[in-house]
Structure 1
Amino acid sequence: MVTGADKQKLSEGERFNSFFLIPCKPTKTNGGRTRNLKEHDPNKWEVL
């Protein structure tokens, strides 16, 4: 039986990686940082 749970886990992992592990461009909006840390979005850290 295929439930799609694996596909959901994969997409959540990809979002986590792209937000927290891949460097981001420094902008005025993000305060010039090049990395998103747990402190920058604790809700997203807990969900993912």
Structure 2
Amino acid sequence: MTRNSSTLGRCPDCGEEIDASQSIIEFEDADGSTGVFAECYSCDEVVRPE
């Protein structure tokens, strides 16, 4: 997942860009990397941006 100050990645379902303001929760994966769940406004679903 590529990160910059305003983009978390893309929706795995529709490909829509997910903005940082759409973030719901951040967490640490077992491997130590940071994961995030965010709301996709296009799908109206909670997704894990890619």
Both proteins in one fold, TM over 0.5: no
Structure possessing the higher radius of gyration over alpha carbons: 1
What TM-score, normalized to structure 2? 0.22
More helix by share: 1
The structure whose residues are more often strand, as a share, is 2
